[in-house]
Structure 1
């Protein structure tokens, strides 16, 4: 799915979304589409599940409640940037 499609979906609005197999915008380096791996309102819960499933290369984005046309693509949060709790 494209990021604008995800943002317009009621299923993901207001939640953190983990994307794999992302295609990135060459100009902004932001994900523009990808495969949805998981989503949750709680970022910590989502990261815990992603870590357990060993999906190490996911981009995690917040799907804000604004329409896709009104707000630019949010900054991505790379799962690999989180310190290990082991």
Structure 2
């Protein structure tokens, strides 16, 4: 995939709604520093475990992961992939 997307673009696409989205080389919200608002779309999947498995296989361990569940950008629904762990960002 390797295309840069804004979170707004992702949220308005029916392709991604209901999917976990992995982003790399992110630009973060200046008010909520752990929430990515733009990045390179690495992969996506409805199944978080499958997405994480593929990221691990490709050694993509520094991706931010967010769930796309609304047509407009959610305020803070962020996850960070750190090594072998997935971290929930504080809202």
Normalising by structure 1, report the TM-score: 0.85
Q: Is the 8 A contact 2:20 2:68 kept in 1?
A: yes
Superposition RMSD in Å: 1.6
Superposed counterparts of 1:6-85, under 5 Å = 6-29=10-33, 30-64=35-69, 66-68=70-72, 71-74=74-77, 76-80=78-82, 82=85
Moved over 3 A (4+): none
Could you list the runs of 5+ residues in structure 2 that have no partner in the other structure?
A: 87-91
* Structure 1 unaligned spans of 5+: none
The total of aligned residue pairs comes to: 80
Structure with greater strand share of residues: 2
Larger radius of gyration: 1
Structure (1/2) with the larger helix percentage:
1
